[in-house]
Structures are given as structure tokens and as C-alpha cells.
Structure 1
Amino acid sequence: MKIKILITLFIIIWIGLIVRVFHLAVQSNDYYESLSENNSIKSELTAPVRGEILDRNNEPVAINELGFKIAFAPHLTKGKDRTLLDKEIAYLRTMIPTLDADKIAKTYIQEDSYYNHSFIDVVDFISHETIIPLYSILNLRGTVKISPSPKRLYPYGLVGAHLIGYVAKANQKEIDADSSLKLLGHVGKNGIEKYYNGYLQGVAGERRIKVNAHNVEIEEIGRSATQENHNLVLNLDMRLQNFITQAFEKRVGTIIVMDIHGAIYAAGSYPEYDLNTFVSGISPEEWNALMTSVDSPFTNKMINGLYPPGSTIKNNMGLLYITSGVWNENTTIMSTGSMRLGNRTFRDWKKNGHGATNITKAIVESCDDYFYQGSLQVGIDRMSNGIFRMGLGKKTGIDLPNEFIGTVPSRAWKREKFHKPWFQGETLNTSIGQGDLLVTPMQIAQQTALMATGLLPVPHIAKMIGNTPNTPVPLDVLTPQEKAKLPIIQNAMRGVCNEPGGTARAYVSTRFPIAGKTGTAQTTGISQTVKNRLNEKDMEYLKRSHAWFTTYGPADNPQFIVTVMVEHGGHGGEATGGIVSSIYNKLDELGYIKKPKPASDTASVQVTP
């Protein structure tokens, strides 16, 4: 019996061994063959060249400077032994003495490990002129690898910085979100560079090679090309962009020049900063200076600056008033210079008032009394709902990252945010663009286009994405009644710049009539005990009002929007009228203003059959 049991166990063991051998030799053959192939075949990714950015005249705005990067072979360190690494660094510095040995060593040691079998980048960029005489010598050294590495260059430096943006080294969070950045190294961090980063950076190519056990290449067995040179053409004209930068010199604020369809021809947030300082890495001192400056040069004021719109909101409010069913274009109030509500006096900017005032005069002369009284008749709900429908309190849709939405105050907004009731005094403040109403300059430019054409355009900087035109569809946001009465507001805006009493008339000197609205947005409350206001020029700088002037032109044939906001600039027209005028005249000089043809040119011509 014992012999039978032993024989049975012996047979079972042998059957098990035979099954295992069969599994390893036959059934697992594909698995181990694949594993063997992976050990002998490597993939090398090829970084694509980042697409260039051009203005509408094909002038380069962001280009790639030709250069190279240097990498060392892995395993040049063994524990704390840096002998081989130091030897390679010393050799490299005999060729290029300006290289930083400590930086190279630190970069290499961070990446070197027993498990890493790839070359380690130690120098990100060396210019073409420097490396070419040394290329063949360095390439003969098996421990050194030279490969192309273009560097982003911004020919215009600081001009248009907040629109164009910049590229810089990708951080770990960005690499985790997009694995291709481990290869590319750099990523768009701001502006157009960031918004269109996925398109501009292209797609990496792949090279498959066979290597031996010593990681030495034997042959190339396959290759896929990079998808690169994804160029982007902008609506910007850098001649105009240069011009507005010079026109705004030593001021803080923003300029937006946009056609009525939303194409941005020039725009700036001031002060600006040099984009090239970010490509190779900005110093802590430079970064702190940007971040702590009282003028906030790193903030894109066009879309991230939140300001009270002041009297620029009166165009929208006026249109809502005369279509409310409560007031109309013939409603006239008596402006005395102030309005009493409870225990508070709401004052007009004009001490003795404007006298009998209808909607046209209220906009031309910027009469606060008219809007105070009208707001109590129309009510905050209709006012806030109306301007929200017209596009305030939401993104304009511009092709820039991180756009702010601003604030449109209302009963529901205050209840949700502060858990407090709404007061009538807040309605009066909102009616003249003060209080909690906050907008971005881009929103005001968009609103001005709405007043000029009856449609709300989507601002856009990119003109062509590859071979595809970028033409966002404007939004139809006005009611039929508002469209019917819009000419009343347009006529008043024309009067602002051209009629006696117009708040901008004394400051406008354009070659053709324009239409617009000034705004003087207070940044500091004025005590009720103050009887006579200080002149803006006599106030401390940070207590002065923000100066607005938003316009369209020509007045009778709208083509362009020009919006200017000067932080703490004082009176809207006085601080901005000269800048706005010079921009329209420059647009005309550059041939962008299309004038009606003389009657003789458009007369019909009889053709004899």
C-alpha cells in the first residue's frame, strides 16, 4: 500500500513539472518574447518645435531662437563618488568656460539613479553660434550628447506682454496633467501662449531603436514625424501696439482697441514687463519686485482688474430706463445738484445741477440726478437683470486664460454673499456705476460695441489658428424694444464728444466725429459733511478717481472701439481724451478707417449692351 502511495505522489509531481515546463516553454512564449523585445527596443521621443506667433501683418511676435542643449550619460556618480561627473564637467568647461559647474552638478545629481538609463539634460540652452565650432568635437565623446533645443524669444520685449504671455519651465503639477511636458520642458504660462498652448506646442515624434545589453544602439527600426510649426496669426498690429504703449507712458491702467466684431487690434495693461526674463527663469529679486509693486505690473488689468465703471454704465442704464415702461425718452426731471434719501444726500458731480434733463442731456452731460431718480422708478431688479443680460457679471469669452467676471449687485446677490437686505441707497449708487458694481475694462469695451451695433461681440486676439479663421459669432442680447430705441443712446454718445456741454468735447481732437462716454469712478468715499469737493489734482494720488473714456468711431459709421482707463487719473475726459484721439488718428493713418465713397464714385454707370 505504501509503495502505491509513493508511486502516485511521484507521478503527480512529474505531471506537475511537465505542465509547468509546457506553460513556460509554449504558452508563455509570447509574453517572454515581448518582455525580451522591450528590453532590447527603446523609444526616443523627439520634441516638436513650438509654433511661432505672428501679428496680422506676419511680423513675428514670438519666435524660436536656434540653439542646443547638452546632456550627460547616466551613472557618472556612484554613491558620493563624483569623480567621473567632475571630470566631464571640467572637460565641458574647457570648451565653454561660461558654464556654471555647480549648477550642472546639482542638475545631474537630482536626475541620476541606478534605474535611469537615459541621458540627463544638464544645460538647457547654448546658442547656435557657440556650439557649432564645438559640435563635432563634443559629439565624439560618448558621455556627452548634443541635441537641438530652440529657445522662445519675444522680439518686442515688454510690448503687448499681457496679451502675448510667455513660456517657462513646466512644474510638476503641469507635467502630471500633460506627460508630454516632461519631454518639452517648457509650457505657456500666461496670455496667448497659455490659452493656445496645446496647439502651439505640437505633437512629439517617436524614434524606435534596438539596443544591446549595454544600452548601445544597434539599429533604427521605426520613426514617426513630429507635428510642429503650428503657427498662430493674431489680429494685433504691432505698429499700433507700439504706438499705444508710447501713448500710455508713465500711466497705470489699460487701453483696448477692438473692431466692432471683437477683433483686438491692440491692447495693453500698464505697466508692462519684459517677457524674455521669464524664458530662462526669473530671479527671486525680479519676481518680488513685480509682485509687490503698487502698480501691479504682473496683473492683466484688461481682464483681471475690477473697477467701478462710473458713468460709463449710464449708456446701459439709460437704455433700460427708456424701455422700462416706467420712463421713456421724453421723461424729464429737474436736476438741482443733489437728491435727499433718508438721512443721506446723493450729490451730482455738478454742484448746482443740470436743470431740466431728459435721457439725451443726461448722457451728454453725465447728469447723476437723472439716474438717481430713474433708479428708484425702475428698481434694482430690472437694472441688475438688464445689465447682466447685456453681458456684465460674466466672462466676455476672450481667448485669454483666467478672465474675471466682475460683480453685478442685486438683492439676491447681497442676501447670498452678506446675508443682509438691500437698501435703496445702494440702488442709487449702482445707477451711476459706483458701490458694489465692478467691471473689467474688456467688459466695458464689449458694452461699447453693443451700444454701437446692437450686438455683443466676443473679443478675440487670434485671427487664424493654422488655416482656420477665428471668427466668434456675436450675441443678440437686446430686446426688440431696446434695439428700436438704441439710436437715442447712440445720438447721446455722439453728443458727449461733439456737442456743447458734452463731457469729452473739450478733450477730443479726432479727424472724424466719434461717440463715447466718459466716467470718473470714485475710489474713496466723500464725507457728507464735505460741502466743497477737492479738485482731483489736489487729492492724494491713491484717493483720486479712476478715469474712463470708452468710445466708438466713426460716430456715423462705427468700425472701432477704443476704451481707455487710467487708474487714479481724475476726470475721465481730461485724463484720457488726448490718448483716445491719438489712437483714432493712428488708425486712420494706418488705413483702417474706411470712409464713405464720394457720391460721384458710387453713381450708377449706364452700360450699352
Structure 2
Amino acid sequence: MSLIRDSVRELARFRLRIWAAIAFVLLCFALLVFRLFTLQVLRHEELHQAAENNRVTVLPIAPNRGLIKDRNGVVLASNYSAYTLEITPSQIEGELDALIDRLGELVEIQPRDRRRFFRLLADGKRFDSLPIRNRLSDAEVARFTAQRWRFPGVDVQARLFRQYPMGEVGSHLLGYIGRINPREREAMEDWEDERLANYKGTDYIGKLGVEQAYEAELHGITGYQQVETSAGGRAVRSLGHKPPTPGNTLQLSIDIRLQHLVEEMFGNRRGALVALDPRNGEVLAFVSKPGFDPNLFVDGIDAESWKLLNESIDKPLLNRALRGTYPPGSTFKPFMALALLNTGVRKTDTIINDTLVYHFGGRAFGSPENERGGAMDMRRSIVESSNVYYYGAAHELGVDRIHDQLKPLGFGRLTGIDLEGEVTGVLPSQEWKKRRFKQPWFPGETISLGIGQGYNAFTVLQMASATATLVSGGQRFKPRLVREIEDVVKHERRHVSNDALEPLPIKPEHVNFLKDALHGVTYQGTGTRVFAGAPYASGGKTGTAQAVGLKAGQKYNAATMEERRRDHSWYMAFAPLEEPKVALAVIVENAGFGSAAAAPIARRVFDYLLLGVVPSEEDLALMREGKAMAPVGKPRPASAWRLPNELPAPAESASAASAPSSAASGVQP
């Protein structure tokens, strides 16, 4: 009986195990069914999209950056396509240095290429495709493609590169593009989603000049391509695409031939020139010397080149026309004369006895040795540049009245030019000094303001703009470098607004008087030798501005001073006399008298714009050395002036070569 009972218990346990196994299998099957139901039904759309995303990749297509041209259609910034060898660090197994060494067996990789790559990698771009070599030759592309299977995470990409065919010419006004840095990436996070999305696939952005100021116009609209990818991430089939929209073309008001001519006339000297059309505010030339080659920055400038530019005592990266501030010297006197007339403090026929020394507060304020002194009315004070006349004028006006009279002309404030980074300069007042130095204004500090010294510090752009306002009778414009924007898709041109600002209430008789006095400078005064023989009438004012202060009683002697401590050479001018088409300001740093260095440059700018000629080779050589006065040799037609990398033009007829050209001159009726 016990044997039977044992058999029954064993059978019951067996059946229990069977049912337990069946229940476990059913539970697992139920869980599997539930999971399949969840994936296939409840999460069908989500997982289907995820699967498509694994199979389909959307690749952004960077647009062609817009061209930049001068007023006559000469291309100043363009694009070209080239192959780049790129590494995606996140896909690399092993040491990057070892990988680069192996790549160096197929293509040439310089130490600067390696340094640039690791600098980009340090910026936190491990998941980006980073260039290790740009501008591969066809042979290098073929060698790498044949061995590509050995280098997972490395590929050849076709990229667009920015090119500045003029090299250093116009570098400060054009600016350059460069790779977007972490600071810029962070700033871009605040952009609107649509604008930020437009930079997907874009590694470059405008950094300076027009490239920076008109980034929105030049960039274009990013396109995309949908591709089917293999398990290894390689594109196997295109599923669709939207082509990118290229950036718009900018046409500048700059005449690049004039720009190049002025830069050549500066030679190795430092300084700046701004030439404006007073009738509309267009900038005809915008020079800062020395310059730099913007092509150096396109791929990411190497350490050696950056050190040379950044540590140079000549500061080639400083835009002197926009950001350099200088005491204006005697070029300030015509504006002081205007303040005297506006306020009624002095009349044109008021006589001041110039004894060559002005005494105030126990100090003697002197005059240059070449001044004659004597009875000075206002016209003679400008023509012969009397210091004593304007020492007294400053004292009679007072610092605050000088400030209030000259600020509307643009001194000490932004001109509003279409570039970023402009500085205000300094037009002092009592309130300014109290705010800046926490000190009161002393009466003796006013005296030097009359001759453009003291705290006065302005940009060349401000001086050119103020000159344009004066000779146009108070008409004001914001200076503009870009005159038209062309939509390359719609082939529509949009004129950039340069609407006139509210004019200043300058009396016409005051304008005519000052224009006549400034004209006198060119045939009776300090500019006589420079403008001898000019077939047109112009006006201008020389200026010699101290670069460093002198102690009381100390006399200036350029021969005993280090070159960079010598006076600056200024000239402000306009032409033609009756209906000015150009107003300019030019400074040559540490070059001495305004008539010796700055005025000769202005003369040749007028010759180019009004006569359509450029200096002879002999004259140009003298200009570079700062030894020219009136032009020497036979001037050449403007059409003969060659730009960098420009082929000689076909021979022109004698009549065409000798006739002034409105296109070459850059000044239109």
C-alpha cells in the first residue's frame, strides 16, 4: 500500500511541475505578445520614424556665399570648390597622432595642419568632421580614395572656400570669414530657431568688415539632401534634396583701383584715408595702412602668421580709419571758425594781432617757426594756419560751447557707417572730464583745444564726414560702403538706403566764406606747392598733430626724436570748389607737416577722380618715400592702373586713354 501511495504523490508532483512549466511558458508567451503588441501597435509610429532615421540621413548643404564687388563690378570676394581631407574624432579608434602619421604617408600634412586640427578639436568639436588638410590635389584625392578602407572615420569632402583675389588691397573694409569659435557658437544659441537652423552645416562666419556687417545678406539659405545610408553610415542612395540658395551679391561704393592706388602711395608708412561723396555719403576709398592678407584667415590662421600680425609694432590688424583716434591738429581750425561764426563770438573781419605767443595762466603757448604772425582776420588765420588766433578763440568760446557747436558735425560720436566696431573718439567737455577722470575742468586745458590738441581725439572717418557736412552746406549722410544688394535668384537689385539726415542750420554765407578760405590754402597757404598746376579748384587744410605731449618750454625737434614719437601729418580737403563731389581726410602717422606727407596723397586722389589719371612711375616712387609735392612726370590714364593679378588690358586708342572715365573715376554726375 505504501508503494502505491508513493507513486500517487510522485505523479501529483510531476503534474504540478508540468502545470508550472506550462504556466511559465504561457506567461513568457504572454509577455512576448504584450511586448510585440506594444512595439507593433502602441509605438508603431514612433519606432517607424526611428527606423527611418537610422536608414535615412538628412545632410545640410551649405550655400554659396555671396560675392562682393566694387562700384565698377570688380570682384573683391568670391568662392571656389576644393577637396578637404577630414577626420571625425568620435569615430576613430586608437591614437589620433598615429592616424595622422599614417595619413601623412598618402598626403602631405604640415605641422601647421596638425596644430590647426588639434586646436579645432580642443574647441569641443569631437563629433564634427574636422579638416586635417585643405585643398587636396587630384593626385592626393586619388591616392587616399584607393586606401580609404584603411581609415574608418576619415573621408574626403568637397568644400567651398572663400577667396580674396586682391590680397591685402581693401583688407580692412572687406574683413574676412573664419571658423565659428565657441564664443560665437554660444551667442548663436540666442538666435531665432529659423536663423540658427540656417547655419546647420556652416562652419564659417564673417569676422570683420563688410563680411561681418552684411553676414545675413552674404550667407544664403542652407539646403539639404536626404540619403539612404548603409549600416556603416555610408550613403548608398539619394532620396530627395532641396538646393541651397546662394547669398546675395554686394556692390560696394568703393572704387578698388583708387583704393589700390592710395595704398600704394602710402608705401610702408602707417596711416589712413577716407574719401566720401558729400552728395550721398558713399565711401569712395577706405584705407588703413598697413593691411593684412584676409586669405590667411579662411582656413584658420597658423600660429606663426598670427604672431607676426598680432605682435607687430605696426599693428596691421588695427583698422585705423574706423578705430584709430588722433588729435586733429590744424585741420580742426576751419570747424573752430564755423563755431565762432555760428555763435557770433567773432566775425570774418575781426582782427587779432598774432604775436606768435599766447599767454594764459602763466604759460606761453607758442607757434611753429614758419608762421609769420601779424594782423589776422579769419580768412588769413585759416590760409596761414595761425595758432594764436585759435588759442584765443578757444578761450572765448569755452570748452562746453566748442563741444556743443562741433558735436552735430559728428565729432566725438559714431558716424553710423555700415561697419561694426566704430569708436566715438573724444570731443571733450567739462562733464566728460568729470565722468572720465573724476576731476574738474581747468581753464588752461581749453587753450590747446583751439588748434586740435589737448583731449581732442577723432577718427579719420569722423574728419572726412565732418568735412563733407561742412562743404555741402550742412547736409548730412551716414557713410555707406555698400550701395546695392543683388538677389542672385530673382535678379533684383535693391539700393541700400542712404537717406539724408536732418541738415544742420549752417548759413550759406558762412559755408561760402570757409570754402573760399580753404581754397586759399591751396594757392596762398600751406598747400600751395602740392596743388601747383592743378587744373581744378579745390579746398583743404593741412594739419600737424603732436603724437606725444611736450613739456612746458620744450621745443619740438623731429631730427632728435624717435620716429614713432614724431608729429602726425593731416590733410582734410574737398573738390571741386563750387560743387564738391569728393571730401576726404588723410593722416600719415609720424610723418611731420601735413603739406609734406598727407596733402600730396589727397592731390593725387583728386587727380584720379576728377581727371581720370594716376601718377607716373617716377612720381609714385617719390610718393612711397614721402618725398613728393606736385606731381612729376607724365600722368598715366586711370585705365592703365593694374590691380593685383590683373592682366594688362588690350591697347586703347589715344583718345580713349586720355579721356577721363566716369567708371574709372568713381564719381558720377
TM-score by length of 1: 0.83
Q: How far off its partner does 1:169 sit? A: 2.1
Equivalent in the alignment of 1:290: 309
2:598 is the counterpart of 1:570: no
Deviates more, 1:540-549 or 1:221-230: 221-230
Give the Å deviation of 1:565.
0.5
In the alignment, what sits opposite 1:474?
500
How far apart, CA to CA, are the structure 2 residues paired with 1:340 and 1:323?
Answer: 26
* Residue in structure 1 matched with residue 180 of structure 2 by the alignment: 170
Task: Verify the 8 A CA contact 2:229 2:237 in the aligned structure 1.
Answer: yes
Which piece of structure 1 moves more, 293-302 or 38-47?
38-47
Give the Cα separation in 1 of the matches to 2:360 and 2:268. Answer: 41
Q: Secondary structure at the match of 1:308?
A: coil
Q: Distance in 2 between matches of 1:59 and 1:89?
A: 43
Instruction: Indicate if the aligned counterparts of 1:314 and 1:363 stay in contact, CA closer than 8 A.
Output: yes
Contact 2:81 2:161 in 1 (8 A): yes
Cα distance, 1:539 vs structure 2: 3.6
Q: 1:493: Cα distance to partner?
A: 0.8
Instruction: Give the 3-state SS of the residue equivalent to 2:318 in structure 1.
Output: coil
Deviation at 1:442, TM superposition (A): 0.7
* 2:470 is the counterpart of 1:451: yes
Partner residue in 1 for 2:480: 460
Determine helix, strand or coil for the equivalent of 1:361: helix
Deviation of the 1:229 alpha carbon: 4.2
Change (3 A) 1:418 1:22: same
Distance 2:254 2:567 in 1: 30
Alignment-derived partner of residue 495 in structure 1: 520
Pairwise CA distance, 1:161: 1.4
Counterpart contact for 1:444–1:563, Cα < 8 Å: yes
Match of 1:223 in 2: 241
SS in 1 for 2:500: coil
3-state SS of the aligned residue for 1:388? helix
Matches within 5 A, 1:448-597: 448-454=467-473, 455-466=475-486, 467-479=493-505, 481-499=506-524, 502-509=525-532, 510-530=534-554, 533-587=555-609, 588-589=611-612, 590=638, 591=660
- Matches of 1:448 and 1:384, distance apart in 2: 17
Change over 3 Å in CA distance of 1:142–1:544 after alignment to 2 = closer
Match of 1:226, SS?
coil
Over 3 Å counting, the alpha-carbon distance change for 1:66 and 1:22 in structure 2 is closer
Contact kept, 8 Å, 1:68 with 1:131, in 2: the verdict is no
Q: Which has the larger radius of gyration?
A: 2
Contact 2:270–2:289 at 8 Å: present in 1 too? yes
Structure 1 residue 96 corresponds to structure 2 residue 107: yes
- Measured in 2, the distance between the counterparts of 1:383 and 1:438 equals 14
Partner of 2:157: 147
Task: Give the Cα–Cα distance (whole angstroms) in 2 for the partners of residues 251 and 218 of structure 1.
Answer: 59
**Secondary structure at 2:573's aligned position in 1?**
strand
Structure 1 range deviating more: 43-52 or 279-288: 279-288
SS of the residue 2:405 aligns to: helix
Preserved contact between residue 51 and residue 232 of structure 1 (Cα < 8 Å): yes
Q: Cα distance, 1:45 vs. partner?
A: 0.5
Instruction: Measure the CA separation in 1 of the matches of 2:546 and 2:448.
Output: 11
* 87 and 340 in structure 1: CA distance in 2 versus 1, 3 angstrom threshold: closer
What residue number does 2:222 align with? Answer: 204
2:389 corresponds, among 364, 370, 382, to 370
Kindly indicate whether the alpha-carbon contact (under 8 Å) linking 2:352 and 2:376 is maintained by their aligned counterparts in 1.
Answer: yes
1:355 alignment counterpart = 374
Equivalence for 1:3: none
- Aligned position for 1:601: none
Partner of residue 186 from structure 1, selected from 194, 204, 213:
204
1:507 corresponds to which letter in structure 2? V
1:547 deviation in Å?
A: 0.8
Counterpart of 2:135 in structure 1 is 126
Compared CA separation, residues 353 and 411, structure 1 to 2 (3 A)? farther
Q: CA deviation at 1:366?
A: 1.3
Number of residue pairs matched by the alignment: 566
Which shows bigger deviation, 157-166 or 228-237? 228-237
Unaligned 5+ segments in structure 2 are 1-30, 189-195, 487-492, 613-637, 639-659, 664-669
2:467 touches 2:572 (CA, 8 Å); kept in 1?
yes
The correspondence for 2:81, drawn from 38, 51, 66, is 66
Tell me if structure 2 keeps the 8 A contact 1:175–1:181. Answer: no
Which residue of structure 2 lines up, in the alignment, with residue 9 of structure 1?
A: none
Q: Matches of 2:423 and 2:581 in 1, distance apart?
A: 26
TM superposition score normalised by structure 2:
0.76
Q: Please give the root-mean-square deviation of Cα atoms over the aligned residues, in Å.
A: 3.4
Measured after TM superposition, the shift of residue 497 of structure 1 is 1.0
Whole-angstrom distance in 2 between the partners of 1:103 and 1:495 = 62
Matches within 5 A, 1:11-160: 30-71=45-86, 76-78=91-93, 80=94, 90=102, 93=104, 95-97=106-108, 103=114, 110=121, 120-123=129-132, 125-127=134-136, 129-130=138-139, 137=146, 143=152, 145-160=155-170
Shift of 1:32: 4.8
Q: Secondary structure at the match of 2:251?
A: strand
